[in-house]
Amino acid sequence: MTSTQLQQARVATFTFFTLNGFVLGLWVVNIPEIKDRTGTSTEALGYLILLFGGAALVGMQVVGRLIDRFGSGAVTTGACVVLCGLLIGPGLATTTWHLAVALIVLGLANGCVDVGQNSHASVVEQRYGRPIMSAFHAWFSLGGLVASVVGGVLIEHDVDLRWTLGVSGTVGIVLIALVRPFVLQHAVPETDEADSAEGRGAPWSPKVVLIAALAFALFLSEGVAYDWSTVHLHDSLGADKATAAWAFGAFSTAMTIVRLLADRVVARIGPAVYVQVAALIGAAALAGAALSPEPWVAIVAWAVFGIGLAGCIPQFFSAAGRIDPANAGLYMARVTSAGYVGMLAGPAIIGILTRWMPLTVAFSVPIAGCLLAGLLSRQALAPEKDA
């Protein structure tokens, strides 16, 4: 494969991640409108969002085996087309039940895309021979940012939601068609009958369990930042709502910037050392946020927390793709699912704990998760010969 073909494959993978972030971002910014159009209560909406997450988990379990059979390029391309095509679904829903169906199928497609794009990114990264995974995740964040800006402008100009979602989905499908020739349609590894049997039951080795567990811990921490950073400033430090919003803004901006730069650092010091240092920085930053006496100190601390977390999670996706080429899709699905569960569980765990303790004390859970990731990163991410 020439360097030009490899660069084109990288651009195609950037497109997958950007579209995925854009689709999810466009759904999020239009939630209030969709809620009103369908007459869905706030309580019911909470259950529907959990339903979306559960459907995504189901999709993740199914797609892993498809990737190992047909290749990550073909599966991710197809899943992205389906995801973009289904984007209009929530906009067409007129009742809560219609919205439930729309979110189930959208969640299934999103789960397939999530595992597929990370699997394809891992293949591209291995062909490059150097770390590039963090940059892919940065483009996912940028896709969400673009969606928030575009969606906000369209909402402000009272553009019909169905047009917004339908046109956006169509543009996404066109972009996928344009980059499809550049996708790596890598061959499925040839295996004998014994290997195939092993592939159907890819083992949960101690290293696989550790990678999945640390991905869970880091995603849990990220989920806490998404749902509780602004609440922390508003409720614990008495900041007004506008000021409180800066906490999440600082966190997400830092995450995006660092993910664009992290690959160069990882290439120099290695993924294990990077996560060891960065995760410990994240733990210290979150502790600093919890102990902050003033809102501006907390905002800085949340930004540093984003700096610490940003480049850690992509390293675990890279590690999952290297465990066993014959079962790369299945292992990626396991690690992605563990992380996704952490993302969903983290905010809920904090909410439950606040019944018995202050929010800042409940932050000890994600702090502990970051500490574990930092302390155990060498065992999880070291090359097989060194593990």
Q: What is the pLDDT of residues 79-136, one digit of tens each?
A: 999 999 999 999 999 999 999 999 999 999 999 999 899 889 988 988 888 888 888 9
> Are 151 and 263 part of one and the same domain?
no
Produce one character per residue of 290-304: b if its CB has 16 or more CB atoms within 10 Å, e if not: bebeebeebbbbbbb
The pair of structure tokens assigned to 100 is 């439930």
Q: Position of tokens 């995740």?
A: 137
Cα–Cα distance for residue pair 25/336, rounded to 1 Å:
19
11 within a domain of the structure (yes/no): yes
What is residue 101's three-state secondary structure?
A: helix
Crossing angle of the two packed helices 312-322 and 133-156, in degrees rounded to 10: 120
Which of 164, 188, 212 lies at the terminal end of a domain, its last residue? 188
Nearest Cα neighbor of 287 from 223, 363, 220, 221 is 363
189 pLDDT tier (thresholds 50, 70, 90): very low
140 within a domain of the structure (yes/no): yes
DSSP string of 8-69? HHHHHHHHHHHHHHHHHHHHHHTHHHHHHHHT--HHHHHHHHHHHHHHHHHHHHHHHHHHHH
Winning range, highest mean pLDDT, from 203-207, 305-309, 319-323: 305-309
Nearest Cα neighbor of 333 from 112, 127, 125 is 112
The pair of structure tokens assigned to 122 is 């891992």
Which of 129, 161, 188 lies at the terminal end of a domain, its last residue? 188
- 212-253 residue pLDDT tens: 999 999 999 988 887 788 888 888 888 887 788 788 788 888
191 pLDDT tier (thresholds 50, 70, 90): very low
At 14 the pLDDT is 94
At 171 the pLDDT is 95
> Are 78 and 148 part of one and the same domain?
yes
60 within a domain of the structure (yes/no): yes
Q: What is the mean pLDDT of residues 245-262?
A: 86
Which CATH number do you get for residue 372? Answer: 1.20.1250.20
> Are 156 and 254 part of one and the same domain?
no
Q: Which amino acid is at 32?
A: P
Rg (C-alpha) for the chain, rounded Å, is 20
At 19 the pLDDT is 95
- Domain containing 38 equals 3-188
Cα–Cα distance for residue pair 228/221, rounded to 1 Å:
10
> Are 117 and 219 part of one and the same domain?
no
**pTM of the predicted model as reported, rounded to 2 decimal places:** 0.81
> Are 260 and 157 part of one and the same domain?
no
DSSP string of 279-316? HHHHHHHHHHHHH-SSHHHHHHHHHHHHHHHHTHHHHH
At 186 the pLDDT is 56
Cα–Cα distance for residue pair 240/233, rounded to 1 Å:
8
Q: What is the mean pLDDT of residues 314-333?
A: 82
385 vs 79: which has the higher pLDDT: 79
114 within a domain of the structure (yes/no): yes
> Are 203 and 168 part of one and the same domain?
no
387 within a domain of the structure (yes/no): no
DSSP string of 247-280? HHHHHHHHHHHHHHHHHHHHHHH-HHHHHHHHHH
Yes or no: say if 24 and 110 are a contact pair by the CB < 8 Å rule: yes
At 384 the pLDDT is 56
| pLDDT score of 288 more than 90 | yes
Least confident of 70-74, 146-150, 278-282, 298-302: 146-150
194 within a domain of the structure (yes/no): no
> Are 175 and 301 part of one and the same domain?
no
| pLDDT score of 387 more than 50 | no
Which of 188, 207, 238 lies at the terminal end of a domain, its last residue? 188
**What total of structural domains would you count in the chain?**
2
At 374 the pLDDT is 92
Cα–Cα distance for residue pair 87/166, rounded to 1 Å:
7
Yes or no: say if 111 and 57 are a contact pair by the CB < 8 Å rule: yes
Nearest Cα neighbor of 279 from 353, 144, 378 is 378
At 385 the pLDDT is 53
What is residue 386's three-state secondary structure?
A: coil
> Are 174 and 222 part of one and the same domain?
no
| Contacting residues for 242 by C-beta, under 8 A, at least 6 apart | none
Element (H, E) at 129: none
216 within a domain of the structure (yes/no): yes
- 344-376 residue pLDDT tens: 788 778 888 888 888 899 999 999 999 999 999
Cα–Cα distance for residue pair 215/202, rounded to 1 Å:
19
> Are 237 and 180 part of one and the same domain?
no
| pLDDT score of 196 more than 50 | no
Say what percent of the chain tops pLDDT 70: 94
200 vs 364: which has the higher pLDDT: 364
Least confident of 11-25, 85-99, 238-252, 297-311: 238-252
> Are 174 and 244 part of one and the same domain?
no
> Are 36 and 139 part of one and the same domain?
yes
102 within a domain of the structure (yes/no): yes
> Are 184 and 280 part of one and the same domain?
no
